[in-house]
């Protein structure tokens, strides 16, 4: 049975709801080959967040040929694993260097690099043909999945240089992805 995710604290450290004004510019500047076609994930209130999550899930599910449960599950698992791995790394750095200034740029770059690898996998699946000549992810679903991953990159870039803010951004991003993933089941009950 599908349950709408419980209301979480989706505000950032400044108390404002998530915005993504620099997302498209970041994406265009950092992706070779002009791959800049994605749907932005941003919202101003919790209700708008739920609507946005539902919209993304519905577009990912599409007509039954867009994105299967197992495919989205793999992306979701990768995001959760990345969050846990990076939070552990950031916390360990904080413990080891209590009396020193911590440079988290390398860890932030690693997070962004891994999210970009996931974006590359989206593009690969969107171009790969199945035996029935359909792609694993259609062009519409591709835009939405790239948009979700771009959201994570943007949140990290907006909070560079501060361990607490980066941890908060990773948690926020994984919570948003979790909500989209939960809604996805509503639209894809019979899909792989």
Per-residue pLDDT of 152-170, as tens digits, reads: 999 999 987 788 899 999 9
Q: Does pTM surpass 0.85?
A: no
For 80, the token pair is 């959760």
The predicted structure's pLDDT at residue 89: 84
Question: Quick check: 125 and 113 in contact, CB under 8 A?
Answer: no
Question: Quick check: 153 and 112 in contact, CB under 8 A?
Answer: yes
Non-local CB neighbours of 100 within 8 Å, separated by 6+ positions: none
How far apart CA 40 and CA 47 sit, in angstroms, is 17
For 51, the token pair is 């609507």
Q: State phi, psi for 168 to the nearest 5 degrees.
A: -60, -40
Q: Which of 182, 190, 146 lies closest to 73, judged by CA?
A: 182
Q: State phi, psi for 11 to the nearest 5 degrees.
A: -80, 155
Q: Which of 144, 109, 108, 142 lies closest to 128, judged by CA?
A: 142
For 171, the token pair is 């948690």
pLDDT tens for residues 24-43?
555 444 444 335 689 999 99
Angle at 84 between CA 35 and CA 104, to 5 degrees: 70
């Amino acid at each position: 049975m599908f349950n709408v995710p419980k209301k979480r604290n989706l505000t950032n450290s400044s108390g404002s709801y998530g915005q993504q004004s620099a997302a498209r510019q970041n994406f265009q500047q950092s992706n070779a080959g002009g791959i800049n076609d994605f749907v932005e994930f941003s919202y101003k209130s919790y209700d708008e967040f739920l609507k946005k999550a539902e919209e993304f899930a519905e577009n990912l599910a599409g007509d039954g040929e867009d994105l299967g449960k197992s495919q989205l599950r793999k992306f979701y698992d990768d995001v959760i694993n990345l969050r846990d791995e990076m939070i552990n790394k950031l916390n360990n750095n904080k413990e080891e260097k209590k009396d020193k200034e911590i440079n988290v740029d390398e860890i932030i770059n690693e997070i962004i690099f891994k999210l970009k690898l996931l974006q590359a996998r989206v593009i690969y699946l969107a171009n790969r043909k199945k035996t029935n000549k359909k792609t694993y992810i259609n062009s519409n679903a591709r835009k939405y999945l790239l948009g979700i991953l771009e959201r994570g990159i943007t949140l990290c870039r907006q909070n560079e240089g501060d361990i607490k803010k980066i941890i908060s951004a990773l948690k926020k991003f994984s919570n948003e992805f979790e909500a989209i993933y939960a809604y996805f089941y509503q639209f894809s009950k019979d899909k792989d």
